[in-house]
Structure 1
Amino acid sequence: MNVGDKMAEFEFADHKDLPRIVEIYNQAIPGRLATADTEPITVASREKWFQEFNHDHYPIWVIKVNHQIVGWISLEAFYGRPAYGKTAEISIYFANDYHHHGLGQQALQFVEAQLPKLKINTIVAFIFSHNIPSQGLFKKNGFAKWAHLPDVAVMDDKLYSVDILGKKY
């Protein structure tokens, strides 16, 4: 799928978007690049997770091209303690047909523009060390490797490392 010069549109996710969010997430599982889940998840299993997002501080947005949801991006609480309230963990997922079309760049730029009103000044991203495209996207946007967790994930009887990339705003 070639999105050409299309600009992505970003909207707060609505509960009716949850099935598509889960569908896109599940597309990432077999590639072993973007998530440590090893089996598809269900919409029901994501209900509580979805309800924890709010527009004022830790939102989830859908990413649309031609009015169709092609991805999503979220900011979640980091470590769940009050002292980390100005830090968020970022996640970005795209439907398989929409990888490598510049949408990740648009998504990061969009999120960065939202940070002042969300009162967030630090973003962290947990990215598999072997996920070269995501590592490149974040580093190109000023994220630095703040930590390396060697061989912490096991998928298909193989060990995988995770890097924590971060950026202060």
Structure 2
Amino acid sequence: MTTIRPLEDKDLPAVAGIYAHYVTATAVTFDETPPELADWRAKAAAVAAAGLPFLVTEVDGEIAGYAYLAQYRPKPAYRHTLEDSIYLAPAYTGKGLGGRLLGELIGRARETHARQLVAVIADAGDPSSARLHEKFGFRAAGRLSGVGFKLGRWVDTALFQLDLRAT
């Protein structure tokens, strides 16, 4: 059985483990050292304090992925723009869970003050994240070339944007 629910403190070790894989084995995040559990607790608290969702998806009781919304950038004028983050455990990619999480995030984003939802996607060679966002109506909004250096190569980021006021 697959469920999506709000993050609980007991989920944080699994969340940290999922993200650690992407930090150490891929260029889809520009972190180079996996955050500690205390860092994840602080992130979860900040997301909650902002009144935004931090969700997990469970498959038969196992945390298979997570997703959350955060303010796009910290400057006050960005307060009406959110950014999504979605990560799945490697064993659970390609099963539709990312779409379920993104759909839930979009619905919840529409219930907030936000007008725009942004995805910043590292272009590390796998188009699945960009395709997922396009499927949900995000449009390509730009590209930043060679802004990250990871695993011995320069990596671009692609920016995608969804107008939350559009139907």
- When normalised by structure 2's length, the TM-score is 0.88
Q: Could you tell me which of 79, 82, 87 is aligned with 1:88?
A: 82
Could you say which residue in structure 1 is the equivalent of 2:141? 146
1:97-119 deviation digits (Å, cap 9, x = unpaired): 00000111111111222223223
Give the letter for the 1:82 counterpart: P
Could you say which residue in structure 1 is the equivalent of 2:38? 44
Could you say which residue in structure 2 is the equivalent of 1:119? 113
Distance 1:9 1:119, change over 3 A: farther
Could you say which residue in structure 1 is the equivalent of 2:3? 9
The number of equivalent residue pairs is 163
Deviation at 1:48, TM superposition (A): 2.2
Is the contact made by 1:126 and 1:164 (CA closer than 8 Å) also made in structure 2? Answer: yes
Deviation at 1:85, TM superposition (A): 2.1
Taking only the aligned residue pairs, the percentage that are identical comes to: 25
Is the contact made by 1:28 and 1:96 (CA closer than 8 Å) also made in structure 2? Answer: no
Q: Can you give the 5+ residue segments of structure 1 that lack an aligned partner in the other structure?
A: 1-5
Is the contact made by 2:53 and 2:108 (CA closer than 8 Å) also made in structure 1? Answer: no
Give the letter for the 1:164 counterpart: L
Distance 1:9 1:33, change over 3 A: farther
SS, match of residue 34 in structure 2: coil
- When normalised by structure 1's length, the TM-score is 0.87
Deviation at 1:164, TM superposition (A): 1.0
Deviation at 1:45, TM superposition (A): 3.1
Could you say which residue in structure 2 is the equivalent of 1:160? 155
Distance 1:56 1:154, change over 3 A: closer
Give the letter for the 2:34 counterpart: P
Distance 1:56 1:46, change over 3 A: closer
Confirm whether residue 21 of structure 1 aligns to residue 11 of structure 2: no
SS, match of residue 54 in structure 1: helix
Runs of 4+ aligned residues of structure 1 deviating over 4 Å after TM superposition are: none
